[in-house]
Amino acid sequence: MPIEQIKNIVDYGIIGLLAFLSFVTFMFTIERLLYFRSIKLEAYTHKNVLELDLSKHLPTIASIGSNAPYIGLLGTVLAIILTFYIIGDQQDTINPSEIMKHLALALKATAAGLIVAIPATVFYNALMTKVDILLTQWEILQDEARRSV
């Protein structure tokens, strides 16, 4: 298999995976926001059931936020390995500008990983704050219900 095909597989595979993870993050974030807007706290009689419903998909968003930089770094490392292989395979003169171009392009995977991880982490923290607020509101409703009895 030619080096260029391997390079394309690494590039598109890593970037494609990160794009998919970004899509999943946005999809789950939107789903959670819509769910939070429509939730009826008074329908819950047990806090643990409410907490389970509120935190659905949040571990996935957190996992994407924490692992996307590593996936990007993996792409960068693989691209650098390929670059060194290309350098070693050149029997004539080594073109420094070509090497620098390959190394610069190798870093795009790390950048893509960070572009996915930063919003995922922000969304996760914002959604966890909303979960805490809703749990507190539920507790207030429960206290008011006990006092009125």
Average pLDDT of the segment spanning 104-113: 90
- For helices 3-38 and 108-148, give the axis angle rounded to 10 degrees: 20
Average pLDDT of the segment spanning 130-145: 95
Q: Is 15 exposed, middle or buried (0-12, 13-18, 19+ CB in 10 A)?
A: middle
Least confident of 29-38, 75-84, 85-94: 85-94
Label residue 6 by pLDDT band (50, 70, 90): confident
On whether the pTM is more than 0.85, the answer is yes
Domain ranges of the chain: 3-148
